[in-house]
Structure 1
Amino acid sequence: MSNQLFIPPNYKPVLNTTRTEKAIKLTKDLFENQLSAELRLRRVTAPLFVLKGTGINDDLNGTERPVSFPIKCMQETRAEIVHSLAKWKRWNLKKLQITEGFGLYTDMNAIRPDEDLDNIHSLYVDQWDWERVITPEERNLKFLKRVVRKIYSVMKRTEYLLYEEYPELVPQLPDNITFIQAQDLQDQYPGLNSKEKEDRAAKEFGAIFVIGIGGALANGEKHDGRAPDYDDWTTPSEGNYKGLNGDIVVWNNVLQRSFELSSMGIRVDAPALLKQLAIANSEDRAKLMWHQMLLNGELPQTIGGGIGQSRLCMFFLRKAHIGEVQSSIWPESVIEVCEKNNIPLF
């Protein structure tokens, strides 16, 4: 496992463990409050688990196994720890009768036992899941970019306010985020894998939003996987490109690599859902409760995403390992290597 670790040469944490704990709280408070105001989001309480077979839990790439357990007082009906809350949020917007231009956000905590553990991946996932009601006319790339810029502005402000409190944390984000189509990355960097393409672009621009993730590119390959039933990755966006979703990726100076902070997108409408289920050979999901609600026009049109809490803290506090900002489980080999290299895991 330790061979997946990257150890920055001569690494020394900018903040010690005590100051890190305080900075984590400040980072989360600053970002959460500003995100809520910028996107007009109401905070709500989220579930840790949902019933299996309802279609509410997310498939992510379609291969990750959810943690599940039987419920004794419900005839052993099984529940699943959430992977994310993409579909639950949309259902909750309907339940709370939140109107166009407003939305919700929540703390999402998940367990992903199939993660490959390294500097930035953990068994434990914590993120701000957010969702906002949109009009049918806002289902376009221009609106997606507008929301991305709003979120990026919150990141910029948070980075500066942390610098005011901790002068050692010198701001690094560029003034603007650069929008890049996944197809353009494919054309510009042939022969490289998706991660290597993001490395090149993130290092050049500092912060990028990669558009169009989940659908096949011109060469038949995907930039990355996406479940077929939340983000819209088939609707034409501009030119011959497709996809109304993407990732916010920044250049991480500590790790010397691209670093994803957020995945988001305009959500599927009924036609996009049916198209993407067919592409993914997952038409049977259309029979599930949540999918039937969407197909029957019972759910609002939305945009939404997830923003990694530990990822954000890791980036702003200049940490080399996600275990420096969250408590999780690590192989003994990882713990030993980190101890030898001044990387204090919680």
Structure 2
Amino acid sequence: MSKTIIPEGYKSTLGVYDTQTAIGFIKRCFEEALTGSLKLKRVSAPLFVDRNSGLNDDLSGVERPVRFDVPSLETEGEVVHSLAKWKRMALHQYDFRQGNGLYTDMNAIRRDEELDNLHSIYVDQWDWERVIASEWRTEEYLKETVQGLVNAIVETSSRLHTKYPDVNVTIDSNVAFVTSQELEDMYPKLTSKERENAYVKEHPTTFIMKIGGALTSGVPHDGRAPDYDDWELNGDLLFWHEPLNCAMELSSMGIRVDSASLLAQLETANATDRLKYNFHQQIRDNKLPLTIGGGIGQSRMCMLLLGKAHIGEVQVSLWDEETLESCKNKIELL
């Protein structure tokens, strides 16, 4: 069965030409709003890292990175999954101070991704990271940062509507905060994705906190690598996406591990062997700055704000024949 959903009566508000113009407008507007809200500066970032550096993001631990040999260096490179670890090293190397941070364009290939309306093998996102003080490692500070991010999205949506009045997507600035355990308690018979849909439908802007550790059921809400987010101080930002009638995750973010939480989470994940890497040793020895950071999907945001039904309407990727046939004469893939 095809995983592509064609909403009944769906027709894109903007044609391909105007969509391309709108994508550029959204990206410019959001970067302006984001940098002002979170005090970030743009930096250049790698497309790949040394396989043996320990800097690649392991995501949920099962995805295979794209690897290639580099004969002149006698090593292998890996296309990044995200820049979660690299950013923290960069803040240290570039001498960023408390309260300031960086953002960058991140492009990646996730070859094991299952293709549907929200997922492709091509990933584009804004990766950001900010230096914080130890006393800021609190749930309250995390919530304040989430609200700042949402405000930037709302501002971008408002400016988009002014330029394209026919695009009538509305983003709720009121964030509902809920923990993954609270969701399981509310909907014990539903899967984690079903819980998200049930809750976000009633709370169209939602931040689900504390993702990574096992819940009362013994199963985590979702997978999370043990060596960047503190599982007690992280979360996912989701919005209700009307065309697909589902919750859409736009950002994964969190306060990063300190020495104590790194060691505890590596132990829980049976991943203490990662302490062989310089990155992990520097966190263990308190040599890297304390930070908060995350990734924000660029194509996802364009899809959300433009009311698109398929991510292929706002990015160029590869699609299987089943997807191409399902979308034919109904959804125009780039």
| Structure-2 residue corresponding to 1:238 | none
1:14-53 map, 5 Å: 14-53=13-52
List per-residue Cα deviations over 1:14-67 (Å, max 9, x = no partner): 100000000000001100111011100010001000001111001000110000
Q: Which runs of 5+ in 1 are unaligned?
A: 234-242
Correspondent of 1:180 among 178, 181, 184: 178
Correspondent of 1:281 among 263, 266, 270: 270
Q: Secondary structure at the match of 1:184?
A: helix
> TM-score if structure 1 supplies the norm length?
0.95
| Structure-2 residue corresponding to 1:268 | 257
Matched, 1:324 2:313: yes
Q: Which runs of 5+ in 2 are unaligned?
A: none
| Structure-2 residue corresponding to 1:57 | 56
Matched, 1:132 2:130: yes
- Alignment check: 8 A CA contact 1:203 1:257 kept: yes
1:177-326 map, 5 Å: 177-233=175-231, 243-326=232-315
List per-residue Cα deviations over 1:267-311 (Å, max 9, x = no partner): 000110111011111110011121112112221000000000000
CA–CA separation in structure 2 for the residues paired with 1:230 and 1:34: 26
Report the alpha carbon displacement of residue 170 of structure 1 after superposing the two structures with TM: 1.5
List per-residue Cα deviations over 1:218-272 (Å, max 9, x = no partner): 1211110100000001xxxxxxxxx100011010000000000000000000110
CA–CA separation in structure 2 for the residues paired with 1:148 and 1:45: 24
| Structure-2 residue corresponding to 1:166 | 164
Q: Secondary structure at the match of 2:53?
A: coil
CA–CA separation in structure 1 for the residues paired with 2:127 and 2:304: 19
Misfit runs of 4+, over 6 Å: none
List per-residue Cα deviations over 1:131-175 (Å, max 9, x = no partner): 000000000100000000000001111111100000111142223
> TM-score if structure 2 supplies the norm length?
0.99
CA–CA separation in structure 1 for the residues paired with 2:164 and 2:94: 39
Letter in 2 for 1:307: I
Matched, 1:153 2:151: yes
Q: CA RMSD in A?
A: 0.8
CA–CA separation in structure 1 for the residues paired with 2:272 and 2:195: 32
- Alignment check: 8 A CA contact 1:71 1:78 kept: yes
CA–CA separation in structure 2 for the residues paired with 1:313 and 1:171: 11
Q: Secondary structure at the match of 1:158?
A: helix
CA–CA separation in structure 1 for the residues paired with 2:323 and 2:217: 38
CA–CA separation in structure 2 for the residues paired with 1:58 and 1:250: 24
Q: Secondary structure at the match of 1:263?
A: strand
Q: Secondary structure at the match of 1:73?
A: coil
CA–CA separation in structure 1 for the residues paired with 2:120 and 2:272: 32
Report the alpha carbon displacement of residue 10 of structure 1 after superposing the two structures with TM: 1.1
Segment of structure 1 superposing worse, 216-225 or 262-271: 216-225
- Alignment check: 8 A CA contact 1:56 1:88 kept: yes
Correspondent of 1:142 among 140, 143, 158: 140
CA–CA separation in structure 1 for the residues paired with 2:173 and 2:321: 41
Q: Secondary structure at the match of 2:229?
A: coil
Compared with structure 1, are the counterparts of its residues 182 and 218 closer, same or farther at alpha carbon in structure 2 (3 Å cutoff)? same
Letter in 2 for 1:299: L
- Alignment check: 8 A CA contact 2:150 2:173 kept: no
| Structure-1 residue corresponding to 2:333 | 345
**How many equivalent residue pairs?**
334
| Structure-2 residue corresponding to 1:87 | 85
CA–CA separation in structure 1 for the residues paired with 2:93 and 2:288: 9
CA–CA separation in structure 2 for the residues paired with 1:264 and 1:135: 17
Letter in 2 for 1:184: E
Q: Secondary structure at the match of 2:24?
A: helix
Q: Secondary structure at the match of 2:64?
A: coil
Letter in 1 for 2:132: I
- Alignment check: 8 A CA contact 1:160 1:171 kept: no
CA–CA separation in structure 1 for the residues paired with 2:293 and 2:172: 24
Segment of structure 1 superposing worse, 172-181 or 247-256: 172-181
